[in-house]
Structure 1
Amino acid sequence: MPAPVTATRNPAIDTLRGIAISLVMLLHFHLSYSLVDSPLALLLPEDAIQAVARNGNYGVTMFFVISGYLITGTTMRRHGEPGKVDLRSFYAFRFARIMPGLVLALLIILGLGLAGQPAFMNIAKPGWPEVGFPLALLSVLTFWHNVLMQHAWYFNYAMNIYWSLSVEEMFYLLFPVLCVALRRAWALAAICLVAIVIGPLYRSHHAEDEIRFLYAYPACFDAIAFGCCAALLAERWRVGGKPALLLRLLAALLVTVTYLRGIRGNETFGFTLIAFGTAALLVVIHGEAPRRPAHRNPFLAAIRWMGRHSYELYLFHIIVLGLMRGAWPRGTLAYGDKGMAMAAFVGLSALAAWTVARFYTEPLNARLRQAFRRPEKSPLRSEA
């Protein structure tokens, strides 16, 4: 049976998340076992396969927009205005959601790296400095792994994808402080507009350095800012009826066309267009009441499931793929085996995500939030 629709769970947003994590997973599988040299080439030309499989970093941009939208919208609903944000509860709740799964993933990567599994080891590239596990783990846990990569390039296959968590967590650290300091929604929107302008300028200046135009804070904060602006706008401007349908179609078309055009040659404004289109979709979604789908489409149900488990999929799909690379090193998987290998990759990643969420992250998240929650004052104490 489909999960019940609740006020805190919007199926449309889960669909966007599911699409985003699917694009990320497709990219990582393609980089390990080229889909150009697979039975998929019997159905699609090489350029089409590359367009679909090579641009998964745009999926990360979609995640950034969704994060900015959800965090801003939740904060405004909970506190009414930015200046009333409770820093303690904000950081405590983010810690409860992020850290349990991240620590488990890092422990697994550390163990497999020390056991000599190549995909989990720190391997210095020629001309780049070596990085030990203590520094690598510290950079992930304190949210500057993307900065470390600027100085050490790609040094740990499994761990390096956590650069995007460093971007998101830096946003989580800064956002409530900005809310308290600025106190007004218009001032917060003004800061977001500055980030939106800086993003393409920074990417243009570093278009030849993928570590910077893909992973640096200034290159990514504009996507989060688009999400924040979408949440602020959606509270003041509700769109419905035919205008909503038209906006949804135009935004989806913009995202699709930009994605298929690719990142190469579009380093400056490609991410801007993906972020703008995703933000427009979120504005439309905001004006619609969450509802259970009228009919159950198995494919869309699977995408929504992936959206609900996107964080655990993000953390653990790379561990599954790293273990596969240990058994079948990059470039050694037979042409006819790639379809089954990809199905196994998706299935095992989903199983790992479900298991971790069901028995570890969700229970621990609930317990930590309950422990962090401020105790209610009793009537006697409040009168004292």
Structure 2
Amino acid sequence: MVNRKYIAGMNGIRTLAVLGVIFYHLLPNKMPGGYLGVPLFFVISGYLMTTSVRKRREKSGDIELKQLYLRRLRRLLPPLVFFLFICGAVLPFIDRSLMRNFREIVASSLLFVNNWWQLFNGESYFDRFTGASPFSHLWYLSIEGQFYLVWLFLLKLYYRVADDDKLLAKIISIGIVLSAATMAVFYTPANVNIVYFGTFSRVFSLLLGALLSVVLSIYRTELEKVSRYTGFFAAGACLMIILVCFFHVRDTSAIVYRGGMLVFSLIAALLVGTVIQFPDVDRLMSNPLFAWCGSRSYEIYLWQFPVMIVYETLVHQDGSHLVLHTVVQLSVILLISEVSYRIVQRTVYLSGLTFSKDGLSKLWHHKAALFAVMLLGISFVAGFIQAPSGKNQAANDLQRLLEKNQKALNKESSAQKEKSAVKKMTPAELEAAKKISLTGFGDSILLSAAPSIQEIFPNSYIDAEVGRQLFESIEDFEKLKKEQTFGDVILVVLGANGSFSAKDMDNLMNVADGKPVFFVNTTVNRKWQKSVNTELAKTAKRFDNAHLIDWKTYSQHHDDWFEEDDIHMNHTGAGYFAEYVAQLIIKELKK
């Protein structure tokens, strides 16, 4: 076992992990693989937990569960309690809907079962548009808490009956394989949550950290003979692979859940191992910036998502001034994290302030602080009591509408029943539309308008899917071409769920095979709106058979056309959308 008391390079890895998570949320189209910072955190935690337990056992001859549990809780709970306390006191003044299910969130987080609560009661896809929860990232802490609780007990049990590190390594390896297999077997594209939030399907990353601790102890002598250059090469290769994954491996890729995340965790474990084993690599991953960020990575992780959600609530973002918005949010995250760190770490830990009688007496001498705590406490209690519970009604309504439209797709009787709310088309235009064979391909935006489109274009076929993104839908587009054959024109409505590249557009246009393609730009109030609409406009200029329908400008001052999320169309908006699309298509075909 490595005898160095403190490995500063761990802060470098923590910094890499937390920045990956932050930019995954801030710039999802620039760093789509930043979510892999979480398994990187898991590997570090698994190693540190196991090493700490093994060192204490070597020192005292036993594993004192109570002492270890209390020590871990003392590290995890104060920042978490402070975080929940401030959020509960402040968020009601910003937007009460952000407090939805706050009581359940607090209870499940403090009991370290939030991941299971989210799995059975958390956000649906539709909550992303009608009000995402600022607490949806807390699942990670619960998995760590559960692992620590169970793993310490299992280690104590193991060392009572055996003292063989090689046997322990084999047992851990079996656990890793079973966990990764659970993720692979239960993964379905339609519901990733069951493997993403599940403890059993995520624990392999933590177990890899535990295995690393045992392996470094078993092969300590052999590893000491490995040259520093080999260590540098291994660390450099691991860093390169991790960064490439951060920038290119999307969370929608099936390979991630069918072995990909396991391989990534193995690479993360190798990186951690090089930092532990080679002092030169440790120094390479150590600097004042990494030391600051790594030591506050827990606080940064806690605060990053609420800051982003609140910022999105208060500030309109369509992709303009993206760098400015990113810098502002990142600065706020780091500032609040530093304040939290100082208050909790230095006040609670270094000053010994607790909720005991002595601790409260210390607080009494700081009258201003006491007054602030009382005000925040009153606000927290009020927010806690009044927090709305249950499912997001707007999200439920939207989901029911889209499910209804999905069932009615391409059924003539349904299209005839759903008469649009407006009739601005001339008889000649309506007659012309009836003669056009149209193929629609898109996401939930197209789905929300499908009945009105099929009313105007009775000779149409619509393929719309909730959550669809262009970069992963070319195969669906090719399949549609083979199974249904394309009509006279193709209507494409994509971009509400993320951006795409010029190459993606080229691939789609190649499949269209010369057919007129009409692209509808997006009104989605997200960071990628501008890049999506810019790419669509460029495509319309690059291809003679590509045309842009500027729905964003046409609908700009008509809030009454949209559902509560301001993205999906209501019955009235769907009518206007269908007529606007029809008029532009008819006009273009006459040229």
Give the superposition deviation at 1:100: 0.6
Give the stretch that moved more between structures: 205-214 or 248-257: 248-257
Q: Which residue of structure 2 aligns with residue 134 of structure 1?
A: 103
The alignment status of 1:180 with 2:156, answered yes or no, reads yes
CA distance, structure 1, for counterparts of residue 108 and residue 297 of structure 2: 22
Q: Deviations over 1:102-158 (max 9, x none)?
A: 011112232344446267322xxxxxxxxx332221111111111111112327621
| CA distance, structure 1, for counterparts of residue 89 and residue 62 of structure 2 | 43
Change (3 A) 1:103 1:113: same
- 8 A Cα contact 2:180 2:202, kept in partner: no
Counterparts of 2:18 and 2:97 in 1: how far apart (Å)?
Answer: 21
Contact 2:348 / 2:354 at 8 angstroms: preserved in 1?
no
> What fraction of aligned residue pairs are identical, expressed as a percent?
19
Query: Is 1:192–2:189 an aligned residue pair?
Result: no
Match in the other structure for 1:353: 337
8 Å Cα contact 1:112/1:120 also seen in 2: no
* CA distance in 2: counterparts of 1:101 and 1:73, whole angstroms: 23
What is the one-letter code of the residue matched to 1:265? A
Amino acid in the other structure paired with 1:161: H
Cα distance, 1:360 vs. partner?
A: 1.9
The range that moved more, 232-241 or 336-345, is 232-241
Residue 300 of structure 2 aligns with an amino acid whose one-letter code is: L
Shift in Å, 1:19? 0.6
Partner AA of 1:13 in structure 2: M
Compute the displacement of 1:177 (Å): 0.6
Aligned-partner SS, 2:112? coil
AA of the residue aligned to 2:330: V
Contact 2:112 2:146 in 1 (8 A): yes
Q: Residue 10 of structure 1 aligns with which residue?
A: 7
Task: Give me the whole-angstrom Cα distance separating, in 2, the residues matched to 1:290 and 1:370.
Answer: 40
Partner of 1:335: helix, strand, or coil? coil
Which residue among 290, 294, 297 is the counterpart of 1:310? 297
| 137-146 or 357-366, which deviates more | 357-366
Q: Deviations over 1:260-300 (max 9, x none)?
A: 3333122221210111001111222222237985899xxx6
User: What residue number does 2:261 align with?
Assistant: 271
Q: Secondary structure at the match of 1:111?
A: helix
Structure 1 gap segments, 5+ residues each: 1-6, 37-48, 123-131, 372-384
CA RMSD in angstroms, aligned pairs only: 3.0
Show the 5 A alignment for 1:46-65. Answer: 49=30, 53-65=31-43
3-state SS of 2:258 partner? coil
Give 3-state SS (helix, strand or coil) of 1:228's partner.
Answer: helix
Aligned residue number for residue 69 of structure 2 = 91
Separation in 1, partners of 2:26, 2:167: 42
Is 1:222 matched up with 2:204?
Answer: yes
Distance in 1 (alpha carbons) for counterparts of 2:75 and 2:122: 29
Larger displacement relative to structure 2 (343-352 or 14-23): 343-352
Secondary structure, aligned partner of 2:17: helix
Alignment of 1:60-75 (within 5 A): 60-75=38-53
- 8 A Cα contact 2:177 2:204, kept in partner: yes
**Residues 292, 54 of structure 1: alpha-carbon distance in 2 compared, 3 angstrom cutoff:** closer
1:295 and 1:314 map into 2 onto residues whose CA distance is 20
1:165 and 2:141 correspond: yes
Structure 1: distance between partners of 2:326 and 2:47: 32
Q: Is the 8 A contact 2:82 2:344 kept in 1?
A: no
TM-score (ref. length: structure 1):
0.78
Q: CA deviation at 1:175?
A: 1.8
CA distance in 2, matches of 1:295, 1:251: 13
Alignment partners' CA distance in 1, 2:195 and 2:285: 42
State whether structure 2 residue 320 is matched by structure 1 residue 339: no
**Equivalent AA in structure 1 for residue 207 of structure 2:** A
Tell me how far apart the structure 1 counterparts of residues 157 and 61 of structure 2 sit (CA, whole Å).
7
Equivalent pairs counted in the alignment come to 333
1:75/1:82 contact within 8 Å kept: no
Q: Do residues 106 (structure 1) and 55 (structure 2) align?
A: no
| Alignment counterpart, residue 213 of structure 2, candidates 215, 231, 234 | 231
Q: What amino acid is aligned across from residue 207 of structure 1 in structure 2?
A: Y
Shift of residue 8, structure 1, vs aligned partner: 4.7
Contact 2:166 2:218 in 1 (8 A): no
Cross-structure match for 1:29: 26
Alpha-carbon deviation of 1:318?
Answer: 2.0
Q: Shift of the alpha carbon at 1:257? A: 4.2
Q: 1:148 aligns with which of 117, 134, 157?
A: 117
Aligned counterparts of 1:103 and 1:254: Cα–Cα separation in 2: 36
Say which structure is richer in helix: 1
**Distance in structure 1 (CA, Å) of the matches to 2:150 and 2:296:** 25
**Normalising to structure 2: TM-score of the pair?**
0.52
Bigger mean CA deviation after superposition, 66-75 or 247-256: 247-256
Alignment match, 1:126: none
Q: Per-residue CA shift, 1:151-183, capped at 9, x if unaligned? A: 123276211100000000001111211111010
The code of the aligned residue for 1:268 comes to R
Q: Which runs of 5+ in 2 are unaligned?
A: 356-591
1:127 maps to what in 2? none
Partner Cα distance (1:27, 1:295) in 2:
22
Aligned to 2:311: 324
Q: Quick check: 1:195–1:218 contact (8 Å CA) kept in 2?
A: no
CA separation of 1:345 and 1:272: change in aligned 2, threshold 3 A: same
Give the counterpart of 1:212 among 191, 194, 210: 194
Q: Give, in whole Å, the separation in 1 of the partners of 2:205 and 2:108.
A: 22
The question of whether the paired residues in 2 share the 8 Å contact of 1:255 and 1:273 is answered with: no
Letter in 1 for 2:238: A
Distance 1:81 1:197, change over 3 A: farther
- Higher Cα Rg: structure 1 or 2? 2
The residue matched to 2:320 in structure 1 has which SS? helix
* Alignment match, 1:280: 270
Q: Decide whether aligned partners of structure 1 residues 176 and 368 sit closer, same or farther in structure 2, where only a CA change above 3 A counts.
A: farther
In 2, Cα distance between the equivalents of 1:59 and 1:345? 19
Task: Tell me how far apart the structure 1 counterparts of residues 60 and 279 of structure 2 sit (CA, whole Å).
Answer: 25
**Contact 1:10–1:290 under 8 Å retained in 2:** no
